[in-house]
Amino acid sequence: MSEAFASSRDARAGGRGGCGALAARLACLVLVSVVVACGRTTPDLPAPPAPLRQSGAPVGAQIDVTAARLEGEWQVVRGAGVPPGAAVRFAPGRMRIAGTDHAVEEVAPGRFTVAGRPLWVHWLDADGRTAAMGDPGGAWVFVLDRTGRPGERLAAAEEILDWYGYNLTALSPR
């Protein structure tokens, strides 16, 4: 067997076969150091936000809610993923949130897409004054009221959102 072949074989087997083994070990050490360094976060970066909805929690939409029942002016009373206190307006095929228009499509009773994002109406009071809405995937959730003063209906909306697994501590304050 040639000496070069033996040295190469020893290097691959972890032996002391010369410069090749040392270079390979150094390369591995550098690679591992780079990977570890890339995985570190700096202390000044904000922590990722808590999920808005617990996966695996039950979720549903109120089936008597139609686009026509939502038409008109609303105000965000509590929410996450939308500006607190924002004005909201539903019109045929449109939803305006804080001055920005979005296309709305009714995909099933109580289920809509807003600019391609799911939005389910989890609860709408019998008189159509207060609504609890959210994305079942947890991207956004909010409570709307036509006057901005839902009174006792806010507690009912929060109870529904809590039942459906939304993180109420992530919502804007009352």
Condensed to tens digits (0 to 9), the pLDDT of residues 117-139 reads 999 999 999 999 999 999 999 99
Per-residue pLDDT at 44 exceeds 60: no
List the helix and strand counts (H, then E) for the chain. 4, 8
Per DSSP, 174 falls in state: -
Instruction: Give the Cα separation of 105 and 62 in Å (integer).
Output: 16
Per-residue pLDDT at 42 exceeds 70: no
Instruction: Give the Cα separation of 122 and 17 in Å (integer).
Output: 69
The answer to whether 60 touches 118, Cβ cutoff 8 Å, is: no
- Half-sphere exposure in the Cβ direction for 36 (13 Å, CA): 6
3-state helix, strand, coil in the chain (%, to 5): 30, 30, 45
pLDDT tens string 46-59:
444 567 999 999 99
Lowest mean pLDDT among 10-24, 65-79, 99-113: 10-24
Q: How confident is the model at residue 30 (pLDDT cuts 50, 70, 90)?
A: very low
Per-residue pLDDT at 152 exceeds 50: yes
Give the residue with greater pLDDT, 54 vs 174.
54
The per-residue pLDDT of the chain, averaged, comes to 82
User: What's the rounded mean pLDDT across residues 11-18?
Assistant: 49
Picking from 170, 159, 144, the residue whose alpha carbon sits closest to that of residue 51 is: 170
The answer to whether 132 touches 59, Cβ cutoff 8 Å, is: no
